[in-house]
Every structure is written in structure tokens, then in C-alpha cells.
Amino acid sequence: MTTDEGKAAFMGVMKRVSTIFRAKANKALDKMEDPRETLDYSYQTQLELLQKVRRGVADVATSRKRLELQLNQVQQQSDKLDRQAREALAAGREDLAREALTRKAGTQAQITDLQTQYASLQGEEEKLTAASQRLQAKVDAFRVKKETIKATYTAAEAQTRINEVFTGISEEMSDVGLSIQRAEDKTEQMKARAGAIDELMASGALTDMVSGPSDDIQAELDRLGAGHGVDAELERMKAELAGGAAPKQIAGSPSPADATDGQPAEHPAAEDAR
Amino acid sequence: MIIRIMGEGQLRVDDKAVNELNHLDTVLEKAVEQHDESAFEPALHALLERARELGTELPADAIEPSDLILPREGATIAEVRELLADGGLISG
């Protein structure tokens, strides 16, 4: 099985990597005195790796779901800002609408970023799931081969079969091992990131960033809405007091004092209420 | 010949087709040696694409050593260098 090492003049990346993988497997084989022991030991390692891969798949899935949740939260925030912009525009407050849309653009950037992360994790999850299934199939096949080889192990050719099987499974395990490592690194990064975003949301810092301290846009809109309500009610009352006189006449001369009466705070809506 | 694309699995490729892959591999190897990131990425992608086109997937339960091993899609030069140094850290 070491015939490849002869043609080392030009190798290329593909050949060099496979040679290294084989050399590693051979080294491990050489350390074992009893080939049967090699098979049993390798099988144990395979089962452990299989467990690790499954945990890896579950971890990636958890990270992905968390990201999905955050994505929904930011999306809701974005929708809200869109709604507020419309309300502000309907109330003739273009400045407020502009502010809402500016903040919405901020959430959009975040959404795009989260979506990219999400897609990348999803890809990782799919690959790892496929790797886990491949490894499972190989481990099952290995168990059968192992018993067959052990039962027939007397002849010298059994050694060749062991070498072949061991090298093949070692290569698979190295590959899966590297995939798992990469997935772990990625989920760790995601966890840290998601944790940071959650913390920001919990502390209100992110909501502040997204929609201003205690949602100033909404407060302004509420004030506008309340202003209209108060004005309308005032009109009605005045009309009643005037004993059914046309409201138009009274409405023509709004007294600023009237408007401030019911609303001790500054009332920006009063002036352009009509 | 049996080829492994890391992270994807193994493929069986006709011996004659391997020549073509070797050509693409030469480009890749040069990029790795010259640390040429801009050449490396397309070279790796071209090699993997062609290998996938030429190869047929090995059954999941096959346990066979590969004749050639290709780095995973999206691997960096640093990653490939690490592979070439010690084949990664995991031992069988």
C-alpha cells in the first residue's frame, strides 16, 4: 500500500494530502502489536467520534434557532419603524418619518448580516448532518468487517485487509474530525455574537439604537394622535355649549389657551391642527 | 481512482480523467506555494467542480482509502498548508 511513495517527483496537493493521511494511519497501525486490538480500539474511537458529531449537529441547530429568533425580533422592529414612518407622514410630519426610515435602514443592515450568518450556519448544519450519516454507515460496515476479519484472521492476507479497512476509516475520521472542529469554532463564535445581541436587547441598548430612547418616535406620534383627539373633543364641546351653532364658526377662532388647558405639556400639534 | 473531497465524501474517478484533475491541481499547488490568495480560490473551486463532474459518489458504507484527497470547498491557503504539514490534528 506504500507504492505511491515512489513517484514523489511531482505530487500536487491532492496526492500529498492523501500520502500524509496514509502515513498517519500507518503510524497508528505500527504502534499496535495485535491487529485485532487495532480493530477494537479503532471501533471505540469511531463510536466516540460519532457521538461528538451528533452533539455537533445539535449545537449548530441550537445556534441556528437562536439566530432565527433574533432575526424575527429585528424584523419586528423594522416593521414597526416602517409603520411609524407611514403614520408620521400621514400626520404631515416628514421630519419624523425621515427619522423612522433612517433607523429602519439600520435594522435592515442588521437583518442582512443576520441572514448571512443564518445561511452559513444552515449550510454547516446540512454538511455535518450528511457527514454524520456517512460516518454512521461506515461505522456499521466497519463493525461487520471487523468481526469477519477477526473470525478469519489466521492467514497473512488478513493483515492486508486490516490495513485497508483501518486506513479507510482513519481517513474518514480525520475528515469528520476536522469538520467537527470547524463547526465547533463557528458555533462558539455564533454563541458569543448571539449572547452579545441578547444582552444588548435585554439592557435596552439595542432598542435604543434601533428606535431611540424609550421610543421617542412613538411618543411623538402618540402626542400627535392625542393632540388630534383633544382638538376634536374641544370642537364638540364648544359646539354643544354654543347650543347647536355651526361648529365652523367657533372652529375658525381657536384660542391657544383652550388647547393648552387640557394638555399642560407643550403642544406642537395645536397650531397646525386644522 | 478514489478521490476524497474533504467535508463532502468520496468519489470514484476514471483513471484517464485524473490527468485533467492533475493539471488543475498544478495550478492550485503553485498558488499555495506562492501564497497567491487571488489565484488560490478560483483554482481550488475549479478543481473541486471538475472532480464532482467527473466522479461518481462512493456508497456511504464503503470503507476505502482515497488515492487523492482534495481540500474542502472554501478552504484557505493556511488550512491547506496545515493539511500538507500534518494532515490536520485528528488521528485515527
**Tens digits of pLDDT across chain A (274 residues):** 444 443 344 588 999 999 999 998 888 888 877 777 788 889 999 999 999 999 999 999 999 999 999 999 889 989 999 999 999 898 888 999 998 898 888 888 889 989 999 998 999 999 999 999 999 999 999 999 998 888 876 656 678 888 889 999 999 999 999 999 999 998 888 888 878 777 766 665 555 444 454 577 887 887 777 666 667 777 888 888 887 655 554 444 454 444 444 444 444 444 444 4
Residues A105 and A83: their CA atoms lie apart, in Å, by 14
Q: Is A106 on the interface with B (CB under 8 A)?
A: no
Q: Is A1 on the interface with B (CB under 8 A)?
A: yes
Put simply, the answer to whether A12 touches B28 (Cβ < 8 Å) is yes
Please provide residue A271's backbone torsions phi and psi, each rounded to the nearest 5 degrees. -70, -40
Report the pLDDT value the prediction gives residue B46, as an integer from 0 to 100: 97
- Please say if the pLDDT value at position B29 is more than 60: yes
The type of residue at A245 is A
Q: Which of A12, A175, A178 sits opposite B29 (nearest CB)?
A: A12
Would you tell me which residues 13-72 of chain B have a C-beta closer than 8 angstroms to some C-beta of chain A? 21-22, 25-26, 28-29, 32, 47, 59-72
Residues A215 and A138: their CA atoms lie apart, in Å, by 57
Put simply, the answer to whether B69 touches A17 (Cβ < 8 Å) is yes
Q: Which of B47, B60, B64 sits opposite A134 (nearest CB)?
A: B60
Element at A44 (helix H, strand E): helix A35-90
Q: What are the chain B neighbours of A13 within 8 Å (beta carbons)?
A: 25, 28-29, 32, 70-71, 80, 84
Residues A11 and B65: their CA atoms lie apart, in Å, by 17
Cell of A206: 439595542
Report the pLDDT value the prediction gives residue A68, as an integer from 0 to 100: 92
Report the pLDDT value the prediction gives residue A226, as an integer from 0 to 100: 67
- Check: CB of residue B50 under 8 Å from CB of residue B62: no
Residues A212 and A12: their CA atoms lie apart, in Å, by 58
User: Helix, strand or coil for residue B10?
Assistant: strand
Residues A258 and A268: their CA atoms lie apart, in Å, by 14
